[in-house]
Amino acid sequence: MNWDTIFKEIKGKHDFTEMDSFLEEAYETKEIYPARENIYNAFKYTPFDKVKVVILGQDPYHGPDQAHGLAFSVKNGTKLPPSLRNMYKELEEDTGCVRQTGELTGWAEEGVLLLNTVMTVEKGQANSHRGIGWETFTNEVIKAVSDEKEHVVFILWGKPAQSKLPLIDTTKHHIITSVHPSPLSAFRGFFGSKPYSQTNDYLKAQGLEPINWCKEVVMHEK
């Protein structure tokens, strides 16, 4: 099984013509993030057979030079957004790992699928592409990972991510939940939740290689 096969199956079940038309016009007439060639980077950097962990985000960052197709990640050299800063704070507390850049391509290459449930956004307009069809697509992706794989860790931060629980077979996968790492909620249970060491403890218990959360890789764009 690979992403191409899964995408063909999804497109055989659902009609994305309206979404495709919407995005075509949006990219031609507005500032949309991420760049069109980066929309599917989560799948490019984490092949289906390598997926060990799924971290769900909502929609891409809507500021310039931030989003590049991986949830929570920002392009190298960009200031850390508040949620990512809190993720790194917990990472250091949990594992001792101190990261230098906001780009999470290294995590993606380790097998962490960094999936936004809505995969595009208009500049300065959070959630502007909610409801155009992305949720149908990403719900099917989540189901495919759940159905076709086993012993995957799903990290669900916040209620929107946790609303995807019915798509996941919890009898063969490991679920980690807490409040979102945003400044509005991080102090209500994200800090101290130890998601990174929890993930690796589970993977090791299944005889799988743990994630190197310290791995730094900078994506080289064309």
176 - beta bridge partners?
155
Measured CA to CA in angstroms, residue 138 lies from 39, 117, 143, 154 at distances of 13, 6, 9, 14
Out of 59, 94, 147, 169, pick the active-site residue. 59
**Strand, coil or helix: what is 33?**
strand
Contact of 60 with 39, CB cutoff 8 Å: no
At which residue do the structure tokens 């780009």 appear? Answer: 103
Q: How far apart are CA 115 and CA 43, in angstroms?
A: 9
Closest CA to 214 of 66, 96, 44, 113: 96
Beta-carbon neighbour count of residue 125 at 10 Å? 13
Q: Can 59 be counted among the known catalytic residues?
A: yes
Q: Return left, alpha or beta for 124; rule: phi > 0 is left, psi -120 to 50 is alpha, else beta.
A: left
Residue 111: CB partners within 8 Å, gap ≥ 6? Answer: 46, 50, 51, 52, 53, 211
Give the orientation angle of helix 195-205 with respect to helix 82-95, to 10 degrees: 60
At which residue do the structure tokens 């962490």 appear? Answer: 112
Q: How far apart are CA 190 and CA 174, in angstroms?
A: 18
Active-site residues: which are they? 59
